[in-house]
Amino acid sequence: MIEMLNTRLSLKLATILPVLGFTLSSYYLINFIFYLKYIHIPAFLSFILIGAPFIGRAITPITYPLLVSRIGISRVIYSSIGSMAIINILEYTDNDFSFLLMLRIITGILFGLSTSASIELASESKSKIIIGMTMGGWALGWIIAAFTAFLLGKYMLLIGILPLTLLISYWKSKIDSNKILHRQIKIEFSWKALLIFLLGFEPAYILQILPSLIGQSAAIYETFIAYSLSFLAYAFLPLIKNVKMSSILISIVIGISGFFAFISLKIYLFILFTIFGLGMNSILPILSRLLNVDPRKIGPSMNLAALSGFTIPIFVEIGNIKYNSALLTLTTSVLLISFILYETNKKVLNKI
């Protein structure tokens, strides 16, 4: 047994739970993007539904510490995932825009809770591999969503009931053993982490529009290849010792490959952009720790930054989607590099 976050967790659970939490919650968030093909609504409304969860996700800094102090971190993860499974079923039953918008916002709240808990567990483990694989849950979620879309078509949302049965069983068996110590309830937040995730998550959020931009068949093909390779990047990039230099070099690749990918709409460029764009996500929590951000502030700050997940799909849709996406990707990469250089150099000067 090891003690993490004032909670005694088995070593196996502390290793698997962060990855499981981020993967399943990502799947439940993303599968709706593929399901949109079967809902006949205007493109602009589709982009709103794609980004809507990130409105709910942004209130995580308020809801997360409150719930963790009440029920414990592991049950936050499992109850959030179980609730998202139920919402998937509801999304299948009704295609009314207002109803779907409400469900998508609630999904975002639950996604924020689950991922914040997963990141906190992973960060406290002090294992770069666990942190990387946890962030890699976003890639695994995309892969599972693309696979179910390819295999089940419009019935893909119904598959969510399978994990739900397992989660209900776990919840019942762990009620008595899930002991926690209450911690002070306050909004956990860091401006440094917020800016890091705002800029670093741009590739993940801009890729949400890919099925609309290149077509669902091409997007599924790109997802299988790129997201499978990006999971390897999630696992191995955090092992690089020089976090500063690796972050800068990866950001350069992201900016250049993303710019030309959106200009040309070439699949091989999107694959390169996806691998490094998502792989960068695994370094962001480590980069936050390098800048002395409290681990408890990383997850909520990450989810507050998720407001860009709502604004990006809508913003790039205004005007020329290709050029807007290309310029936004290049700009955020340059800004992230500048911020990393500024903060790390300031840290060195403060030690002199």
pLDDT given at position 250: 94
pLDDT given at position 11: 52
pLDDT given at position 100: 93
pLDDT given at position 180: 46
Count of structural domains within the chain: 1
Both tokens of 212, joined, read: 């609309």
Determine the 3-state secondary structure of 77 from DSSP. helix
DSSP code for 352:
-
Q: How far is CA 30 from CA 86, 104, 118, in A?
A: 15, 11, 17
Whether the full predicted model's pTM is greater than 0.85, yes or no, is: no
pLDDT given at position 105: 93
Residues forming a β-bridge with 4: 7
pLDDT given at position 277: 92
Residues forming a β-bridge with 9: 2
The H or E element that residue 208 is part of is none
Query: Along the chain (352 residues), what's the average pLDDT of each consecutive run of 10 residues?
Result: 46 73 91 87 84 84 80 84 90 89 93 87 78 84 89 83 63 47 59 90 89 84 88 80 89 96 94 92 84 77 81 84 94 95 73 56
User: Would you tell me the crossing angle of helices 11-35 and 43-51 to the nearest 10 degrees?
Assistant: 170
3-state helix, strand, coil in the chain (%, to 5): 85, 0, 15
Residue 308 maps to which CATH number?
1.20.1250.20
pLDDT given at position 102: 95
- Domain around 287: 2-351
pLDDT given at position 186: 60
